[in-house]
Amino acid sequence: MKITLHQTGKRFNYDWIFRRVSATFSEGGRYAILGPNGSGKSTLLQVISGHLHHNEGTVTYSTMPEELLPPDQFFRHCAIAAPYLELVEEFTLAESIQFHLQFKRFIPEISPQEAIALVGLEKSMDKQIRYFSSGMKQRLKLALSIFSDVPVLLLDEPCTNLDTAGIKLYQQLITNYGGNRLIIVSSNDEQEYFMCPNRISIQDYK
């Protein structure tokens, strides 16, 4: 999977968040979108994901070899973990997993039970998400995204609400299960984008 931005810009009302972003994100690559809080990192990631529409330029998705993918089908090929994406609070953990699996299956080597054990939530299968701590919710978000069998992984501030042990767990999961997927991280914390040699500063596109 390859994602190409050409002269891409996004504004809210008359305020441009970023303009003229040209970048290519290639299969197997590790990319970080960097910048201070409020600079537009998350907005750019949401434009890449298709959750937000851009106001200028283009965003194209292509499979290998160069076969263009309709933008409204990209969601089938990506998984995203972000603070602004909420879990269904009324679901138990088991129900949350089953709901997710109706849309995206897990990578072949990981069963749902193994995924939950790997993020340390195996004792909470029957607990409603509403009773989870913020750190437990983030571990679940990471499990649902990292273990999804998709070629693109989008992570927005993936260590939000995680303690030191949680951050170490995140880094292990990325190292062990990132595979040959395209991974894009929006962050200003090097612990979150430790694996990304390719880095884009949102400040360059103001």
Evaluate whether 120 touches 139 at the Cβ level (below 8 Å).
Answer: yes
- Encode pLDDT of 38-72 as tens digits: 999 999 999 999 999 999 999 999 997 779 999 99
Name the CA radius of gyration of the chain, rounded. 17
- To the nearest whole number, what is the mean pLDDT of the chain? 96
Cα–Cα distance list, 32 to 112, 150, 156, 194 (Å): 29, 19, 10, 9
Question: Over pLDDT 70: what percentage of the chain?
Answer: 100
What is the domain extent for residue 57? 2-205
Evaluate whether 166 touches 132 at the Cβ level (below 8 Å).
Answer: no
Strand-pair category, 15-25 with 2-12: antiparallel
pTM score, two decimals? 0.96
CATH of the domain at 24: 3.40.50.300
Q: Phi and psi (nearest 5°) for 106?
A: -85, 160
Evaluate whether 150 touches 79 at the Cβ level (below 8 Å).
Answer: yes
- Encode pLDDT of 188-197 as tens digits: 999 999 999 9
20: left (phi > 0), else alpha (psi -120 to 50), else beta?
left
- Split into its structural domains, the chain has a count of 1
Helix residue ranges per DSSP H, the chain: 41-49, 93-101, 112-118, 134-146, 164-177
- Encode pLDDT of 122-155 as tens digits: 999 999 999 999 999 999 999 999 999 999 999 9
Please count the CA atoms within 13 angstroms of the CA of 168 that sit on its side-chain side.
4
Evaluate whether 135 touches 166 at the Cβ level (below 8 Å).
Answer: yes
